[in-house]
Chains A and B, each alone.
Chain A
Amino acid sequence: MIAPADDAVRLDSVTEITWTQLVSASGLPEDELRELVRYGALVPRDPDAPAWTFESRWLVVARTASRLRHDFELDPHGLCVVLGFVERIERLEAEVRALRALLG
């Protein structure tokens, strides 16, 4: 019997994940993830809400954080600085791609 195909889910600004899902999928301890929120490296939809929810794209950032944390043995503050650089690189790469698309 052929197994049915599973849906691959987008990690974008439309779909939403809960704090518990983010913690469980990120690979980081909850207290470190909370520090990343405090330093602004991860942004809940409503920071004042009693239960945080996030755009699912933050899961990609959280997993990158987990990888960088492990591979470079970074503390949460250093991790935030590196994540800021990674985000900036990605934004610049997106601009380069957009310009290439425009210029041919």
Chain B
Amino acid sequence: MKYKDYYAVLGIARDASADEIKTSYRRLARKYHPDVSKEKDAEEKFKEMAEAYETLKDPEKRAAYDQLGSHTPGQDFRPPPDWGQHFAQGRGGFDDVDLADLFAGLSGQRGRAGGRRADHPLPGSDYEAVVRLTFDQAFHGTEVDLELSALEWDPDGGMRRVPHRVKTRIPRGVSDGEKLRVPGKGGKGVNGGPDGDLYLDIDVEAHPLYRMSGRDLYVDLPLAPWESVLGTNVNLPTPGGTVALKVPAGTRAGQHLRLSGRGIARGSGAAGNLYAIVRIEVQSVLDDRQRALYKELSEISNFNPRAQLEQEAAR
């Protein structure tokens, strides 16, 4: 098992008072709590400090932790031989758990000894997992196979890590940051208690072309100046397949051309729209003939895109 220095995680001395422990935890939690923080690695950091606080705020667990001795963080260590007799009610091996599991086990034992009958039904824990999807998987829906590591009670009252494999269907049209629930796929209930649920945090990779906003999709449509003036037909890729898009004559930069129903479909509701946003691209290098044609156009055209600005300037 790897040693973690809970005091160092909270930035306090080993003889810190209960008040100092609480203050330090609150100060750090304010900065790193994943619900309120956008700091890099906030979730990971918060997990570490919450684990440290859960142990150090409880005098009994803190004493048990102190009895493990002081080691270098990350160093492999084993609890002293009599540690299990004092704190883990004679529990034997510690190979398949980490430090957090060990102390979660202590809480569990106390909870069980706290007046609940041994056969009292207990619900299973809820699990959370992040599911990373490509844009196409999110758009069309997919099936994912999740390999989780679950903490379970063993018959002698200790805890152990067991592999927990869940195969689940992700519905079409999920968006980045969305949460899904897989009922009954969390930890096993004990003594007939219901199984916990599995919660999935959806993380969708950005697509090089399409941008999501609710049920709508946006894609940039680059046009040459003469295409925007004269109109054109474009084969536009969409997640559902290529679509022939007619760009009308006189299309301006920034204009949204709507492809109805080509956005994201969710459940049985109507799909959103796909919007092609017009960008007018200009060549930076021209040959002599092209330059001459542009020059001729500038001489014969009476189009003035700055008429309004000029009127204002003349006031």
Determine how close the nearest CB of chain B comes to the CB of A49; give it in whole angstroms.
Answer: 23
**Across the interface, do A68 and B35 meet the contact criterion of CB distance under 8 Å?**
yes
**Across the interface, do B168 and A7 meet the contact criterion of CB distance under 8 Å?**
yes
**Across the interface, do A11 and B180 meet the contact criterion of CB distance under 8 Å?**
yes
Known: A6-B169, A97-B213, A98-B214. A72 touches B33 (CB 8 A): yes
Chain A residues near B33 (CB-CB < 8 A): 68, 71-72
Most buried by B among A7, A14, A67, A86: A7
B183 at the interface (CB under 8 A from A): yes
Chain A residues near B184 (CB-CB < 8 A): 6
B160 at the interface (CB under 8 A from A): no
Determine how close the nearest CB of chain A comes to the CB of B297; give it in whole angstroms.
Answer: 29
B171 at the interface (CB under 8 A from A): yes
Known: A14-B267, A71-B33, A102-B218. A5 touches B167 (CB 8 A): yes
Bound-state Cα–Cα, A97 to B63, Å: 48
**Across the interface, do B267 and A101 meet the contact criterion of CB distance under 8 Å?**
no
B62 at the interface (CB under 8 A from A): no
A64 at the interface (CB under 8 A from B): yes
Q: Which of A27, A86, A104 contacts B211 (CB 8 A)?
A: A104
**Across the interface, do A8 and B168 meet the contact criterion of CB distance under 8 Å?**
yes
The residue in chain B whose Cβ has the minimal distance to the Cβ of A60 is: B179
Known: A5-B143, A8-B169, A98-B214. A64 touches B277 (CB 8 A): no
Chain B residues near A56 (CB-CB < 8 A): 181
A interface majority secondary structure = helix
**Across the interface, do B29 and A8 meet the contact criterion of CB distance under 8 Å?**
no
A51 at the interface (CB under 8 A from B): no
Interface residue tally of chain B, by bracket? 35 or more
B182 at the interface (CB under 8 A from A): yes
Determine how close the nearest CB of chain B comes to the CB of A88; give it in whole angstroms.
Answer: 11
**Across the interface, do B180 and A6 meet the contact criterion of CB distance under 8 Å?**
no
Bound-state Cα–Cα, A25 to B171, Å: 21
Bound-state Cα–Cα, A102 to B266, Å: 21
B148 at the interface (CB under 8 A from A): no
Chain A residues near B200 (CB-CB < 8 A): 8
**Across the interface, do A11 and B181 meet the contact criterion of CB distance under 8 Å?**
yes
Bound-state Cα–Cα, A98 to B183, Å: 31
B293 at the interface (CB under 8 A from A): no
Bound-state Cα–Cα, A29 to B171, Å: 31
**Across the interface, do A8 and B197 meet the contact criterion of CB distance under 8 Å?**
no
Q: Which of A3, A24, A68, A86 contacts B167 (CB 8 A)?
A: A3
Bound-state Cα–Cα, A69 to B89, Å: 31
Determine how close the nearest CB of chain A comes to the CB of B73; give it in whole angstroms.
Answer: 23
**Across the interface, do A102 and B277 meet the contact criterion of CB distance under 8 Å?**
yes
Bound-state Cα–Cα, A7 to B172, Å: 11
**Across the interface, do A10 and B267 meet the contact criterion of CB distance under 8 Å?**
yes
Determine how close the nearest CB of chain A comes to the CB of B66; give it in whole angstroms.
Answer: 23
Mask: chain A, 1-34; 1 = CB below 8 Å from B; 0 = not: 0111111111110100000000011010000000
Bound-state Cα–Cα, A22 to B185, Å: 17
The residue in chain A whose Cβ has the minimal distance to the Cβ of B30 is: A72
6 closest cross-chain pairs (CB), A and B: A101-B213, A101-B211, A8-B180, A5-B167, A98-B213, A101-B218
Binding site for B on A (CB under 8 A): 2-12, 14, 24-25, 27, 56, 59-60, 63-64, 67-68, 71-72, 82, 85-86, 89, 97-98, 100-102, 104
Given contacts A6-B185, A9-B183, A14-B267, 9 further A-B contacts (CB under 8 A): A3-B167, A5-B169, A6-B167, A7-B168, A9-B182, A10-B266, A25-B126, A71-B50, A101-B213
12 residue pairs bridging A and B, Cβ less than 8 Å apart? A5-B168, A6-B182, A7-B182, A10-B180, A25-B197, A27-B126, A63-B199, A68-B33, A71-B33, A86-B36, A101-B211, A102-B218
